[in-house]
Amino acid sequence: MKTFTKIAVRTVLILMAIFLLFVLVARSLFIVSTIRSDSMQPLIVTNSIIVAVKQFHAASLRSGDLVVVDIPTPEGRVLTVRKIEQQPDTMAGQFYLRAVNTNGYDSRQFGTLQAADIRGKVIWIIR
């Protein structure tokens, strides 16, 4: 019986270590966040979960892509989702971002943002 208990404890510890490693790797590759505002409705409804990849090339971003971005607000910087809507006069390395909802805070208020402000490219929306 003692041998079985040792094997069971060892197995549980190994599984916990594997799970922890999985979580650490996943957190380094992906952003998983709940959207709490209505600024992207009807595309992303309130309390939807988004999954975004952290590793992407800024040159691959196109108009229409959804991105997780660190935007400046009067209360401070906020991590949120916005849609890229490039304008003809936007300089290289700069992105014009729009909220889908007309009430959303976006580049109409704060101007273009640099690629460094984009934290991830949305690949999945879970409603």
Q: What is the pLDDT of residues 87-102, one digit of tens each?
A: 888 888 899 999 998 8
Looking at residue 54, what is its pLDDT?
Answer: 95
Domains of the chain, by residue range, sit at 31-126
Looking at residue 51, what is its pLDDT?
Answer: 95
Looking at residue 99, what is its pLDDT?
Answer: 94
Beta bridge partners of 50: 33, 125
Cα–Cα distance between 94 and 107 in angstroms, integer? 11
CATH architecture of residue range(s) 31-126: Ribbon (2.10)
- Peptide bond before residue 88 is cis, with ω within 30 degrees of 0: no
- Those residues of the chain that have pLDDT short of 50 are none
CA distances from 82 to 5, 39, 65, 112 (A): 52, 9, 8, 12
pTM of the predicted protein model: 0.81
Looking at residue 1, what is its pLDDT?
Answer: 63
